[in-house]
Amino acid sequence: MLIGVIADDFTGASDIANTLAKGVPPEGGLRTAQFAGIPNVPADPTLEAGVISLKSRSAAVQDAIKESLQALAWLRQQGCEQIIFKYCSTFDSTPEGNIGPVADALADALNANGVLVCPAFPTTGRTVYQGHLFVFDKLLSESGMQHHPLTPMTDPDLRRWLGHQTTSRVGHLALKSVLAGVHETKNILSAEMMNGNRFIVADAVTDDDLLVLGETVADQPFITGGSGIALGLPRNFIRAGKAEGDGVQFAACSGPEAILAGSCSGATLGQVALHAKKHPTLAIDVPGVMSDTVTAANLLAFIKAKRGLAPLVYSSGTPEEVKDLQSKYGREAVSAKLDALFATTAQQLVENGFRRIVVAGGETSGAVAKAITDQLDVSAMTLGPEIDPGVPMLTIGTDEPVALALKSGNFGAEDFFAKALQIMEGSS
C-alpha cells in the first residue's frame, strides 16, 4: 500500500477514496479500498491506497488521538509511504475540537514538519483564499455551517481557528505562490519550516492549484486536508512506476432499495423535498425515538411496504427544530439515539434482502456502514463509479454484495437519491 488515509468520518472517507481511485487523466488513480474502522487483518496486497473510516470528528480529543494513532500504526504496517489526515472540506469543528490535536499527534509520530493544511475542494465550491475558507461565494461562517448541530463553524480564518486547537505555529502558503508553480511552493514551504511553522495553511481555488500542491508534497510523509488535497497524489506514484493507474472497479448491484437521511444540511433538506414529490417518504418523529415508541421495526415496515418505489425515511429538520430537540433531550443523547436507530434499521434491511442503500449525513453514514460491515464480517468496501462529485458508489461483500452511497450532508445534486439508486444497478 502506498497511500494511507485516516478520515474522521465515513462520508469524508468515501470522498477521498473516490478521489484517489479516480486520479486525473491521463495517469488515472490507485487501487483503493475504504475500511469501516481499523481492520484487524492485513490488507489485500494488491491495494495501492487504503482509507480508514473513523467516527472521530465529534469525539473527545484524547479518544480521537488514540484511535487515529491506532489507524496510523495499521497503515504503516501495510507499508504506506504517505499518510493523509482527512477532515471535512468545511473544516467543521469547535475551538476545543480535535483537528489540531490529532494533526499534532500524527505529525509527532511521523516526525513531520511543514505539514500542509488544505481543506479546499473546488468542485463542490470549497476554496481557500488568504487563509480563509469559502463555500462558493460565501465565507464559511456565513454558509450555513455556523448552524451545524454538532460541529458549528463560526470563523473562516483557518490559521486563527487551528491556532485555538494547537500550540504549534501555523503559517500560510498564499495563492500567488501556488500560481507561480511547484518550484516556488517548495521554496515557501521550506521557508515556513525554517520560521518554525509546523502547519502551513495553503490557498487553493481551482483543481490546478491542488495539482500544484500535490506535486509539491510528493516526498512529504504527512499531509492534512479535505479530499481535494489527494487529487494530484496518485500520479506522483504512477509517474514513479510504483502504481499502475487502474483505480475504479465496478460491480453493479440489483435488488430492493432504501434511503436513510439523517442530515440537517440545506442540501439534504432540498434533496428530501424533491424526492418526496414522486416517492414515498417518512419523517421520523424524534420525540418518539427518544421515548422508544418509534423503533427500527417501524421504519422497516414502512420501507418494506413501499419496496420498489425508492422509499426514504429521514430525521432531517431546520436548524431551529434541531436546536429545540437538542435543548429538550441533549445534543449527544439525540445523536446517539438516531445513530442507533439508523444502524439497526440498516442491518434489518440487509437481513430482509435489501441490497441498495443510500445514506445522507456523516454521523448517520458512519453508523450505517459500521453496522453493515460488522453484520457481514467484511471491513473493506470496494470503490465504484462516482455518483456526484465527492460521492462514490461502494460495495460490501462479494456473494450478494450490498451497494452503499454515503453522502455528506452538503454534497450531491437535488436528484441525488434517485440517481444513486440508478447507478447502483448499472443504469444512469
Answer yes or no: same fold for 3-239 and 257-424.
no
pLDDT value of position 79:
98
Q: What is the CATH number of domain 3-239?
A: 3.40.50.10840
Residues in the chain: 428
pLDDT in tens, 369-412: 999 999 999 989 988 889 998 899 999 987 789 999 999 888 89
Which pLDDT score, from 0 to 100, does residue 428 have? 64
CA-to-CA distance for 155 and 141, rounded, in angstroms? Answer: 5
Lowest-confidence segment of 109-113, 218-222, 392-396 by average pLDDT: 392-396
User: Quick one: 165 exposed, middle or buried, by C-beta within 10 A (0-12, 13-18, 19+)?
Assistant: buried
Average pLDDT across the chain, whole number: 93
Q: 213 near 118, Cβ under 8 Å?
A: yes
Share of the chain above pLDDT 70, in %: 98
Is a pLDDT exceeding 90 seen at residue 320?
no
97-108, pLDDT tens digit by residue?
Answer: 899 999 999 999
pLDDT of residue 206: 98
Q: Cα(112)–Cα(128) distance, rounded to whole angstroms?
A: 23
> What is the average per-residue pLDDT within 194-222?
97
What integer pLDDT is reported at residue 282 of this predicted model? Answer: 97
Taking residues 275-299, report their average pLDDT: 96
Query: Cβ distance 336 to 149 under 8 Å?
Result: no
pLDDT at 109 over 70: yes
Domain boundaries in the chain?
A: 3-239, 257-424
Query: What is the per-residue pLDDT for 313?
Result: 97
Give 355-377 pLDDT, tens digit per residue.
999 999 988 998 999 999 999 99
pTM of the model: 0.86
> Residue 235 has what pLDDT?
96
Res 72 pLDDT > 90: yes
Q: Can you tell me the mean pLDDT for 197-212?
A: 98
- Say what the pLDDT of residue 417 is: 97
Q: Count Cβ neighbours within 10 Å for each residue of 312-328 and write b for 16 or more, e otherwise.
A: bbbbbbebeebeebbee
CA 278 to chain centre: 29
Fold of 257-424: Molybdenum Cofactor Biosythetic Enzyme; Chain A (3.40.980)
The pLDDT value recorded for residue 91 is 84
Q: Region 61-79: what's the mean pLDDT?
A: 97
> Is 326 a residue whose pLDDT tops 90?
no
Determine the pLDDT at residue 149: 66
Asked if the model's pLDDT at residue 144 lies above 70, the reply is yes
Please report which confidence band the pLDDT of residue 196 belongs to, taking 50, 70 and 90 as the band edges: very high
